[in-house]
Amino acid sequence: MTKRLALMNQRYQDLERRRNLEVEGFKNDIKNLRSRLKDVERQLYKVTMGFAEDMDMKRPDDIDMQILRNVHATAGRSKKIVGELKNLKAKMYGIENNLKHL
């Protein structure tokens, strides 16, 4: 009976150790995803601010055409960045939910 109790205690300790490692891994994943998310948000901000900087000192007609050119040139990149943002947020929320359930 004592051997069985010792075995059960050892298994429980192993499970607890594994759980703690998983929690640490989830926390690291969340940290990495948040940093990637911030990087993508910074890129999006730079693209947006680039439009505003290009618009200074120009006539209104030139500004409209420049905006259209910039939108056309960066539409694909913007879609990619927005999609990446959504994916990162979904992963982050999923990991946080898994962490809450442990």
Residues in the chain: 102
Condensed to tens digits (0 to 9), the pLDDT of residues 37-52 reads 888 888 877 776 666 5
Q: What is the DSSP letter of 77?
A: H
Q: Given the structure tokens 């006539």, which residue do they identify?
A: 59
Q: Tokens for 53?
A: 């900087």
Name the pTM for this structure: 0.48
pLDDT of 50? 67
Q: What's the distance, Cα to Cα, between the start and end of the chain in Å?
A: 30
Classify burial at 52, counting beta carbons within 10 Å of its beta carbon; exposed 0-12, middle 13-18, buried 19 or more: exposed
The residue type of 37 is L
Q: What is the DSSP letter of 57?
A: T
pLDDT of 8? 93
Condensed to tens digits (0 to 9), the pLDDT of residues 14-43 reads 999 998 898 888 889 888 888 988 888 888
Mean pLDDT of 85-95: 86
pLDDT of 16? 92
Q: Please determine, for residue 1, whether its predicted confidence score (pLDDT) is greater than 60.
A: yes
Mean pLDDT of 78-94: 85
